[in-house]
Chain A
Amino acid sequence: MSARLQTWLWIAQRGSAMVLAVCVSVHLVTMVIAVRGGLSAAEILARTQGQLAWLIFYSVFVVTVTVHAVVGLRAVLGETLGWRGWLRDLCLGAFALLLIIVGARAVLGVFGAGQ
């Protein structure tokens, strides 16, 4: 992998961290308010399903989580286990795909497209 691409990955991780700071805050505050308000899971889903805003919000959340986690894990594997090279990056690419698929299923569940 070229140094240029490695730099782009680093920038993507910093950028995704900024977006995640907002997403995590919104998610946690919303959950706390909803749960303390006495809403059940079914009642929460009834409010999110069909709402385009929540679809966009959680789609952004899943994409940024995927970018941030995979790039961060890449550094952790290299520095902690000494695992570097194309095989590590290939495995991380597969892990990114897994996160996107699992995340997309959850987002579609919140939006109600799977109903």
Chain B
Amino acid sequence: MSDLHVRIWRGDAEGGFSAYQVPRQESQTVLDVVTYVQRQLDATLAYRFACRVGMCGSCAMTVNGVARWTCRTHVSKVIDDQGALEIAPLNHLPIVRDLVTDMAPFFDQWAAASGQFSGAKTRHDDFATVPPDSPARRAIDAAIECIGCGVCYASCDTVAWNPAYLGPAALNRVWTLVQDARDTATLDHLRAVSGDAGCQACHTHVSCAERCPKNISPTVGIAGLKRALTKATLKGQL
């Protein structure tokens, strides 16, 4: 197999791409390529990963212009005919160094969106009964497997245009809480996702749903939040 021609972003926001030759291997992932460069060619390369099996959400990068989880992205799926591979940090987040972005703005939006569960029961109460086939529980099932990788945030045009926008992942999280029969702060959640930075800022471009490695559709959740927010506003509850 011929070598891969890899270009990797080096430095901070003012940095640029550096070129590397990496041996092509079978079933090679993009994370394998980055790891090869760091261990064999340039030990100063900074990047982030942990589980390597698509669970932790820490290895997301921009691969040939598209945000992806690199541990589960096979090189064969993303290289062009010339075997070129361009790897950059995620969009819309401050670059710490090389391929490492500061994820704080991403997770700060989860807090700003009121993404915390608020229950009324204590450990002394009985379990809540939630029918598995109820519409609300099904809506939660479709949205709950988010691993917080930031791919949706990096792919969202609205985030690029409106830095205050809460983003697909945070809104998806709030959607699961609004659907949760045990959560007692529905109106607080809706209040937190209202306004110019909230769910109504979404233009339904569906980039988040297209790029989500877990096949979640934040767009569906955001549309649900818009409906819930509209009803609550028209009823004068907010």
Contacts and interface: CB of A to CB of B under 8 A. Distances in A.
Which of A7, A10, A75, A84 has most B Cβ within 10 Å? A7
Contact of B200 (A2, A10, A80): A10
Interface string A4-32: 10111011001000000000000000000
Given A7-B229, A7-B233, A79 B194 contact: no
A4 B234 contact: no
A3 B192 CA distance: 9
Contact of A3 (B158, B162, B195): B195
Interface of A: 2-4, 6-8, 10-11, 14, 75, 78-80, 84
Given A10-B200, A78-B196, A3 B233 contact: no
A84 B196 CA distance: 10
A3 B234 contact: no
A84 B238 CA distance: 24
B218 interface: no
B191 A3 contact: yes
Interface string B169-203: 00000000000000000000001001110101100
B34 to A, nearest CB: 34
A2 B158 CA distance: 20
The A interface is mostly helix, strand or loop, or mixed, namely helix
B161 interface: yes
28 contacts: A2-B195, A3-B191, A3-B194, A3-B195, A3-B196, A4-B195, A4-B238, A6-B196, A6-B200, A7-B194, A7-B198, A7-B200, A7-B229, A7-B233, A8-B233, A10-B200, A11-B230, A11-B233, A14-B230, A75-B201, A78-B161, A78-B162, A78-B196, A79-B158, A79-B161, A79-B162, A80-B161, A84-B196
Interface string B28-59: 00000000000000000000000000000000
B162 A6 contact: no
Contact of B234 (A11, A79, A80): A11
Contact of A6 (B161, B195, B230): B195
Contacts of B158: 79
A11 B234 CA distance: 9
Which of B196, B230, B233 has most A Cβ within 10 Å? B196
Contacts of A3: 191, 194-196, 198
Contacts of B194: 3-4, 6-7
A15 B24 CA distance: 56
A84 B195 CA distance: 13
Contacts of B162: 78-79
B234 A7 contact: no
Interface in B141-168: 158, 161-162
Nearest to B165: A79
Contacts of A8: 233
Contacts of B238: 4, 7
A3 B189 CA distance: 13
Contacts of B230: 11, 14
Given A7-B195, A7-B233, A75-B201, 11 more contacts: A3-B191, A3-B194, A3-B195, A3-B198, A4-B238, A6-B200, A7-B200, A11-B230, A79-B158, A79-B161, A80-B161
